[in-house]
C-alpha cells in the first residue's frame, strides 16, 4: 500500500538457486516497494515472504559514510555481513574500483558511487541480491562488470531480483511487470 492505493496483489514468485527475476514497470508502480517488502523493510498487507539465505539490498542510494575512504566504508558493511578485507577486495575488483580505495565517498562521481554500492552487495557474501535500478548511472564498461558479477553470482547458486528501467542482461529471468501508477 502507498497511502490508500494498493500497489500490487496476487504476486507469486519462487526462485531456485541460480534464479533471477526482472521487475519492470513505470515510476511509482511499486518496484522499490516490492524489493523493500522482500528485504523485510516493509510488511505485506496480506500474504508472506519466505526465503532461505542471507540477502543484500542494493538500494538506489548506497548507505555509505560519505566521509570515509571507499575501502573503509565498504569494510564497515563487510564486517556487519561477517566478512572482511577479502570480501571488500572482491567487490572493489568486480566493479573496477580498486584504484579508488582511498578516495573519500564524497569525492566519487555518480557512476563511481553506484559502482561502490554494487561492490558492497558483491562483497556481502549474501546468497540473495536485491538490486534497485542497478544500471542507473553506469557507463557501458561498468554495466558489463555488473552483468558479469550477476552471471558469476547466479552460476555459483546465487539469486538476483532486479528492479529496473534500464536494459540488464538477466538470461532466463522470470519477468514481472508491476502495474501502471494510478
**Do 24 and 132 contact (CB within 8 A), yes or no?**
no
pLDDT tens track for 30-67: 889 899 999 988 888 878 888 888 999 998 888 899 99
Structural domain spans, the chain? 20-42+53-177
Beta pairing partners, 104: 69
Can you tell me the mean pLDDT for 76-81?
89
In order, the DSSP letters of 75-133 are HHHHHHTT--HHHHHHHHHHTT-GGGTTSBGGGS-HHHHHHHHHHHHHTT--SEEEEES
Question: What pTM does this model have?
Answer: 0.90
**Residue 27, all three cell numbers:** 515510476
Q: What are phi and psi of 106, to 5 degrees?
A: -65, -20
Residue with cell 575512504: 69
Specify the CATH number of the domain 20-42+53-177.
Answer: 3.40.50.300
Amino acid at each position: 500500500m502507498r497511502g490508500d492505493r494498493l500497489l500490487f496483489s496476487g504476486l507469486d514468485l519462487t526462485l531456485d538457486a541460480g534464479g533471477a527475476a526482472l521487475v519492470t514497470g513505470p515510476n511509482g508502480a511499486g518496484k522499490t516497494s516490492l524489493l523493500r517488502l522482500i528485504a523485510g523493510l516493509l510488511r505485506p498487507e496480506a500474504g508472506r515472504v519466505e526465503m532461505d539465505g542471507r540477502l543484500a539490498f542494493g538500494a538506489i542510494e548506497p548507505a555509505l559514510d560519505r566521509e570515509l575512504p571507499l575501502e573503509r566504508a565498504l569494510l564497515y558493511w563487510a564486517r556487519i555481513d561477517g566478512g572482511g578485507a577479502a570480501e571488500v577486495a572482491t567487490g572493489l575488483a568486480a566493479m573496477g574500483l580498486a584504484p579508488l580505495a582511498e578516495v573519500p565517498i564524497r569525492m566519487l562521481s555518480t557512476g563511481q558511487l553506484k559502482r561502490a554500492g554494487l561492490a558492497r552487495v558483491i562483497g556481502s557474501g549474501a546468497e540473495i541480491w536485491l538490486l534497485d535500478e542497478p544500471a542507473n548511472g553506469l557507463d557501458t564498461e561498468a554495466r558489463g562488470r555488473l552483468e558479469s558479477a550477476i552471471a558469476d553470482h547466479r552460476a555459483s547458486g546465487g539469486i538476483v531480483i532486479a528492479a529496473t528501467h534500464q536494459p540488464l542482461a538477466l538470461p532466463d529471468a522470470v519477468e514481472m511487470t508491476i502495474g501502471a501508477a494510478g
